Structure 1
Amino acid sequence: MIFGHIAQPNPCRLPAAIEKGLDFLRATDFNALEPGVVEIDGKNIYAQIIDLTTREAVENRPEVHRRYIDIQFLAWGEEKIGIAIDTGNNKVSESLLEQRDIIFLS
């Protein structure tokens, strides 16, 4: 996991795909966008614009992706994001790997 603030330069070199995603975040006026999918580099790199109300932690499930990487960006408001290490031994509660590239853990 890489953690930082969009306004601060990253001290380490990141993969080109992540840099493209970060460039999109820096250059985008999120007040002007409707919820939906925005392609950044076709289907290879895209943004899901989601307008939601933060839920309580107990209402969420940890998740893992195998094909895509998430860049979590909060345009306004505040939210706590939990993390866990994917050891490969975590208990799977639901797998939607084929349909949505997501596995939910217990």
Structure 2
Amino acid sequence: MIIGNIHHLQPWLPAALREAIEHVIAQVSEATPLGKHAIDGDNLFYLISEDTTEPQAARRAEYHARYLDIQIVLRGSEG
């Protein structure tokens, strides 16, 4: 897991990850509708959702066999 600030990306981040985050920063605003938004078809996309986070102690670890999951809290706070 990588935890950080999207406005201060670390230089060691892989280029593909950095580019995906920068795309989201450039494209997402308060007016962006909920749902799936393609960057590169089903190869790279982002989901806009309104969720309530849970305390870390209450969450089980998750893994994905097919996708890398990048989660960015746009409003509010985690946990």
With the shorter chain as reference, the TM-score category is 0.7 to 0.9
Corresponding residue for 1:92? none
Cα offset, 1:65, TM superposition: 0.6
Give the strand-richer structure, 1 or 2: 1
Cα offset, 1:50, TM superposition: 0.7
Identity %: 33
Gaps of 5+ in 1: 81-106
* CA distances 1:65-86 after superposition (whole Å, capped 9, x unpaired): 1211111100010112xxxxxx
Q: Is the counterpart of residue 69 in structure 1 residue 65 in structure 2?
A: no
Cα offset, 1:15, TM superposition: 4.2
Matched residues in 2 for 1:13 and 1:5: separation? 12
Corresponding residue for 1:8? 8
Cα offset, 1:30, TM superposition: 2.7
Matched residues in 1 for 2:63 and 2:19: separation? 22
What CA RMSD, in Å, does the superposition of the two structures yield over aligned residues? 1.9
TM-score, L = length of structure 2 = 0.80
Cα offset, 1:55, TM superposition: 4.0
Matched residues in 2 for 1:50 and 1:78: separation? 14
TM-score, L = length of structure 1 = 0.62
* Residue identity matched to 1:6: I
* Residue identity matched to 2:53: T
- Counterparts of 1:79-98 in structure 2, within 5 Å, are 79-80=78-79
Stretches of 4+ moved more than 3 A in 1?
A: 55-58
